Structure formats: structure tokens, C-alpha cells
Structure 1
Amino acid sequence: MIHIDNVILDKICLHKVGNKVEEEGVIFSKSPLCVNENISKLLVNYFFANFKSNEYYNLFHDSDLNLNEIFVYASNIFDNKDSILQQSKNIAKHLYNKSMHPKINGGELYIAYFKDCVIDGQLTDGVGIFKSETKETYLRVFSTGDDFEINSDFGININKLDKGCLIFNLEREKGFLVGIVDNSSKGSEARYWKDEFLHVKQRNDEYYYTNNIISLCKNFVSKNKNIDNVQKADILNKAVSFFEKNDFFDIDEFSNQIIQEQSLRDEFQSYKKTFEEEREVVIADDFTISENATKKQSRSIKNIIKLDKNFKITIDGDIRYLEKGFDEHRKLNFYKLFFRDEE
């Protein structure tokens, strides 16, 4: 978790970066921005407010971390924060060279140096890279003597950050601790900020492991033709319940609790290896469970059985009170539900 109560905006530079396909170019500032205390607080809130997830990344390169441009530029800033203007220009050039999709919007690019950041209880400094792409119309009301006037203006909504990256001066040997926000890109152009410009990989931590094992469960039940819809809902309900009630994950304990049949447990273990290879991820056999990842993934769990266009059955509990059959007279399938009280 990132805490911003005592964060100090120490230095900030601003450049304008266009779309390279449209040959819009880059406009560089000649010096860092000078902002007063009130604007500084607004900017800190604007930059940090959207970083609510505990999902972190590391900058990386397939062959040599020092070939990752953002890693080099951020390292130089951490080593000498007075170099931020030159390094921010390098970052702007790098972003422009990656802005090759026709749907990528130009915008203002902010590069900031922050002091006294607290990340998961650790005090450190941070380098922020933020891009503002969208402008909104807002109204200005002001008095003129005994009357009022109203007009409109065009500007940035400080409650919504389009794109952002926070690089904390932790775990340098692994590519720093990195948080990412992208609220404006969709489709194929969305990859350019995270994959092409920053070039990051997900950090191997409790959030990463928890997120992946729940994704594994969802994929396992959805692709397994030997599991009917009731079993699918039951397995996913048990999986979420396991993560909500436990602090620690153990693969054997987990599979034994959520899957009854030994043959299906063996399939699950085999599918885990396939999932890791296909997704190029690692799922540890034991780890501390991330509450945030559990909450995020549980919202996407589907435990609803749709019956033609007439009914939907939501399964939240014990499937022993649900019985499936076939009516020979009507030539239709049916579900029989057993319950004590009706609300």
C-alpha cells in the first residue's frame, strides 16, 4: 500500500509529447517547473490518487536490465536528482518513439521526483512518469460588481489520471518497485504504455501468486469438459472461500479442499504446469495470500447457471441441496432445489 500523507514533490518537469505516426513531435521545457505549496499538494494528489492497487511490477529486459531505457533514466535520477531535466527529456524522446499507434493521443508528460514516499511500510524516494491525454470542459463562475458571470474553459480533470508510473527506489537489482496506471487506452494501443514504453513484468509477490492461482482455477473449470456447471460453481465458490478464510496458501491443502475426486485433483495439478508454461507465469506451491488480489478476482467469479432464457440459478453454498435430473414426459432437464425458508 502506498501512503502519501507526507510525500514531498521535490522536482517536476513538463514536456509535450505527440503521436509519432502523425509527426506531431516533442516540445521540451527549458527548465523544471516552479510550483507553490498549494499546487504541489494538488499535483501529489492528482498523481498518486489512482494508485490504489497492490499490484506491482519490475522494469526488465530479456537480456540485460541495463538495456531498459526507463531503468537507466530512473537510475540516473535517483543517483543525481539534479539531472532530472535532462533525464526527463530522454524519457520524453523514448515515449515519442513508442507512440507509433494511430490511436495514441498526444499530451503533457510530467516527470517528477518525490521524497518521503511510504510503500508497504518502507520510506523511500520515487520517480513519477505521468501523461495527461484528455481535456474536459468546466465552468467558471465569478462575480462582477453586483452581478455574476459564467463562462467555460478547457483543462485537466485532477481527479482522473490518464497514464502513470511510479518507480520507487527499492529493489534496484530487480528493476525497481513499480506501480502502473492506464485509464485511457483500450485495445491494441493499450500495450504501448506498459509493454513497449515501460517494458515491465509483474513482480513475483503474494499479489502475483494469489492472482495467478485464482485465474488458474477459473480457466481449469471453464475448459474442463468433465466438470458440469454445478461442479464449476462449487469449485470456484470453495476456492474463493479458501482464500478469504486463510492467510497462507498450500497447493496440496487447497486442491484437497476444493476438489473431491482424486482424478480431478490430478488433472488440476497437471493443468497448473500447462497454465504456467502457456502464460509464462510462476505459481508457487506455498505463499502468503493477498487480500487485495482475492477481492479483485472474486468479483469476476461467475457462479450463475443460465437455463435457456427463463431462469438463472445462483449457487452460493452447498451443492448437496441442488439436484439435477431429466423429465421423460417433457423431455427437458430440470433442477430440484431443497431449502428450509423462503424470503
Structure 2
Amino acid sequence: MLDVTDVVLKSIVVHKVGNKSKDEKLIISESPLEIDDSFITEILNKYFLSSFKGEAFFNLNHQSDINLNEVYSYAKAIFNNTSSFYIESIHLANHLYENATHPKINSGEFYIVLFENISIEGERTQALGLFKSENKETYLRVFQKNKNFEIQSDEGVNINKLDKGCLIFNIEEEQGYKCLIVDALNKQNEAQYWKDEFLNLKP
């Protein structure tokens, strides 16, 4: 069971990962985000964590040596030295970009998040969150201007719909860390890049 009651969002950075086969770019942020607004933090925690049910666990995998799993090695570096968070986030973004080659894969924002004080099956630990938002939705914004109301449209991310996500918990290191996954958009072959190619997970 996943318990996020006392979770702390310690670090977050966002990169934009395009589809390499469409010649879309990988755009790297210059630095992690600094969020001072507790309401925004609460919204982000809901967006990132509410889709995880804690039912089916996975481990990062490699057929010959777990240290050759790139996500594993970058996550391990972060857990061992949190000051490497930003540098390792760039490595993770590059790795995702190299695996986003199917023509049906959408570009999107790639969030790398370090959580502390997260509890899984009663054990309190750190977790590295990897999330990708691929679908934007259109919203109407109604606001008052003088004595009238005006309506404008805008595009944004629905915080109730996480497209793709993985939580890597800092436990079971030798087995490839305990992981949870969300892949809400696609169940077909082009979506397997997230679970099988980027993460390389096994039950």
C-alpha cells in the first residue's frame, strides 16, 4: 500500500522531450524549479501521485547486469547523492528521447521529481518520480472585466489524468528497486517504449 500523507516534494525539474523520429527537439531546463507556493506543491503531489494504487510492483531490469539499466544507474546516483539530481535528470531525459522513436509517440513535458517521506507497505523512504504529460486539454477561463464577463480558452494539463508515470522507491536496490507504474494513454505496441524500452521493468 502506498501512503503519501506526509510526502515531501524535495526537488523537481521539467524537460521537454520530443519525438526523435519526427526531428522534434529535446529541450533541457537550465535548472530545477523552485516552488515556494504550498498550493502549487499540493496540486503537483495530487497530479503525480493520485494515480498510483500500489497494487502491482515491478523492478528495473537488465538481462545481464542491473547496473547496465540506465534508469537504475541514474536513480542510484541520485539516491546516493541528491546534489546530483539535476545532472542525472538530464541523463534521464536523454535516455527517454533516445527511446521515443515510434511515429505515434507524442512529445511532452518530462518531470523528474525527488520525494521524501513516502511510505510503501509501511516502509518510509525516498522515491524518484518520472512523469510524462503528452496530452493537453482545452479549458475555458471565465473572468470579470469591468461590468461584463469575458471568456478565453487556454491549453493545459488535466491534473486528474496522469499520462505516464513511474515511482522508483529507494528499497530493494539489489533487485532493481521497487517500482510502481502508470501508463494511462496507450496499451498498444507504440506505448511499450515507456515500460519496456525506457524503464525496462519486470514484475
- TM-score normalised by L of structure 2: 0.97
Q: Does 1:178 align with 2:168?
A: no
* Cα distance in 2 between the residues matched to 1:121 and 1:166: 16
**For the residues of structure 2 that align with 1:38 and 1:80, how far apart are their CA atoms?**
28
Matches within 5 A, 1:32-43: 32-35=32-35, 36-43=37-44
RMSD: 0.8
CA–CA distance in structure 2, aligned partners of residues 41 and 8 of structure 1: 10
Secondary structure of 1:173's counterpart equals: helix
Distance 1:162 1:63 in 2: 30
Matched, 1:27 2:31: no
Deviations 1:210-268 (A, max 9, x none): xxxxxxxxxxxxxxxxxxxxxxxxxxxxxxxxxxxxxxxxxxxxxxxxxxxxxxxxxxx
**How far 1:51 moved relative to its partner?**
0.4
Q: Counterpart of 1:109 in structure 2: which amino acid?
A: F
Equivalent residue for 1:67? 68
The residue that corresponds to 2:4 in the other structure is 4
1:121 CA drift (Å): 0.7
Count of paired positions: 202
Distance 1:79 1:158 in 2: 31
Structure-1 separation of matches of 2:74 and 2:97:
15
**Which residue of structure 2 aligns with residue 45 of structure 1?**
46
Secondary structure of 2:22's partner? Answer: coil
1:184 Cα deviation from its structure 2 partner = 1.3
Match of 1:84 in 2: 85
CA distance in 2, matches of 1:18, 1:185: 17
Alignment-mate amino acid for residue 188 of structure 1:
N
Per-residue CA distance 1:8-30 (angstroms, 9 max, x = gap): 10100100000011111200000
Q: 2: CA distance between counterparts of 1:75 and 1:115?
A: 15
What stretches of structure 1 move > 3 A for 4+ residues in a row?
Answer: none
Alpha-carbon distance in 1 for matches of 2:38, 2:79 = 23
Shift of 1:146: 2.2
Task: Give the Cα–Cα distance (whole angstroms) in 2 for the partners of residues 72 and 80 of structure 1.
Answer: 12
Q: CA deviation at 1:53?
A: 4.2
1:33-74 deviation line (CA, Å, top 9, x unaligned): 011211111101100011014100000111000000000000
Q: Which has the higher helix share?
A: 1
Higher relative contact order (CA 8 A, sep 6+): 2
Q: Where do 5+ consecutive residues of structure 2 fail to align?
A: none
- The structure richer in strand per residue is 2
Q: Match of 2:103, SS?
A: coil
Q: 2:200 & 2:26 partners in 1: Cα distance? A: 21
Identity level (%) = 51
Question: Helix, strand or coil: the match of 1:195?
Answer: helix
Give distance in 2, aligned partners of 1:129 and 1:50. Answer: 13
Cα distance, 1:186 vs structure 2: 3.2
